[in-house]
Amino acid sequence: MIQIFIQIVQGWRELGAVGLGALAVAFIIGAMVFAPRPPMCVVSGLVFGFIAIPVVLLASTLGSVLAFLFSRYLFRSRFLKLIERRPVWRALVEAIDAEGWRLVGLLRLASLIPGTATNYLLGVTRIGLWPYTAATLVGLLPQIFLFVYVGAAGQIALEDLSESPLRAALIVVGLIFTAWAVFMVTRRTKAVLARYSTLHDDFRASGRVCVAGGRTRPTGDDHQSHRNLR
With a cut of 70, list the residues of the chain below it in pLDDT.
Answer: 1-2, 88, 111-113, 157-230
Number of structural domains found in the chain: 1
How much is the pLDDT for 63?
A: 95
pTM reported for the whole predicted model: 0.71
Report how far residue 166's alpha carbon sits from residue 65's, in angstroms, rounded to the nearest whole number. Answer: 42
Q: Rounded to whole angstroms, how far apart are CA atoms 10 and 31?
A: 21
Rounded CA-CA distance 132/130 in Å is: 5
Q: Which pLDDT belongs to residue 95?
A: 76
Mark out the alpha helices in 16-75 (DSSP H runs): 17-30, 37-48, 52-73
> Which domain covers residue 173, as residue numbers?
2-229
Q: Which helix (H) or strand (E) holds 140?
A: helix 129-160
